[in-house]
Homo-oligomer: A and B are copies of this chain.
């Protein structure tokens, strides 16, 4: 008998009607002979409502108490979903994070799962009872309630799948799978049948936003096969699994992008050993995340350093740099907004330099100026003007034949 973990996100459990639909999915898998662990998020909107209450009290509410507060969201869902399953004639039992034996480190709001005591849920599975677990939450060694932070329910699902040796972990969400790029931007966007963990990580980090990167990493480390699929339709979803044995013929598998990008450049920065690290220390001290970094050494004494930040964090970034102008030893600070990042992702790219060239060639043909470039093993990112983003996505999608099914292979240079 196979064990299946099924995870339903906030929009999939937002109303009683949707809970009923989720229950039908669960029952379908149960009737197919599987043992079932269901993992659920808070009903859509609940977490925001609870946080709003906390913000009425304090701008920085106690982190421990915020976790006590937020964890009620999933607890409501597990109770209601279990009621629905029972009402439909199936045995179901709810488990909060602590009841499910999900142990975490003691860092409130972003705890990592340290262990899962499977002895608490096993007896129910053995008796054929459907187990409904609250995602996003756990308990510390000393009995305090914790939450796992963003993407927490996905992580709970994957961690449970790993702990119980599940044959599959299905992530039910409001999209039908992972697409070559965002269908809201590119009409030709196509749902992928399969994608590797690494490719998914790049797509997720770069803004595809279907599944949290933490959960994908966890799945990769534990060899858990994930399926992203819609809770609103019966379409097959996208399988996320090991590279090995994947029947795929394309080097580029998808396009990721991000808007609201700003570029900051420090001209004439000292070329001393510590200068660059001091710049990033100062920025990190304000909890500002930076993304693409490009450095050009001009001569032995000086260097130009550019990096991108989210538009919303630009002012704060400029402030902190100006405040430390003396210590940081640079000549001039310039910046530019209204930019976007476009990336091509595919795990076969590393060994094929022609792919990057093809990308630049395509963008140039459309008169799209590339302002920064950054590459990794499985992706090439470019910074362009945001107003050129739709054109860039369209032309890249076409160039790399992303709309075509996998059998129609693309070879660089063809």
Contacts and interface: CB of A to CB of B under 8 A. Distances in A.
Interface stretch (A83-91, A231-239, A250-258, A373-381): A83-91
A94 B144 CA distance: 10
B53 A65 contact: no
A82 interface: yes
A66 B75 CA distance: 11
A62 B94 CA distance: 11
A293 interface: no
A58 interface: yes
A62 B82 CA distance: 8
Interface in A60-90: 61-62, 64-66, 68-69, 71-72, 75-76, 78-80, 82-84, 86-87
B50 A65 contact: no
B79 A66 contact: yes
The copy count of this chain in the complex is 2
A53 B15 CA distance: 9
A72 B57 CA distance: 19
Interface residues of A, number: 36
A282 interface: no
Contacts of A56: 16
Contact of A80 (B69, B78, B84): B69
B72 A75 contact: yes
A295 interface: no
A93 B144 CA distance: 10
Nearest to A61: B83
A118 interface: no
Contacts of A78: 65, 68
Contacts of A93: 64
A54 interface: yes
A221 B95 CA distance: 36
A96 interface: yes
A80 B57 contact: yes
A390 B389 CA distance: 78
**Main SS class of interface, A:** helix
B99 A83 contact: no
A16 B53 contact: yes
Given A62-B82, A84-B57, A50 B69 contact: no
A69 B61 contact: no
Interface of A: 16, 19, 50, 53-54, 56-58, 61-62, 64-66, 68-69, 71-72, 75-76, 78-80, 82-84, 86-87, 93-94, 96, 98-99, 120, 143-145
Given A16-B57, A54-B79, A61-B86, 16 more contacts: A16-B53, A16-B56, A57-B84, A58-B83, A62-B82, A64-B94, A65-B79, A66-B83, A68-B94, A68-B96, A69-B79, A69-B80, A72-B75, A72-B76, A99-B143, A99-B144
25 contacts: A16-B53, A53-B76, A53-B80, A54-B79, A57-B80, A57-B83, A57-B84, A57-B87, A61-B86, A61-B87, A65-B80, A65-B83, A66-B79, A68-B75, A68-B82, A68-B94, A68-B96, A71-B75, A72-B76, A75-B75, A96-B145, A98-B98, A99-B143, A99-B144, A99-B145
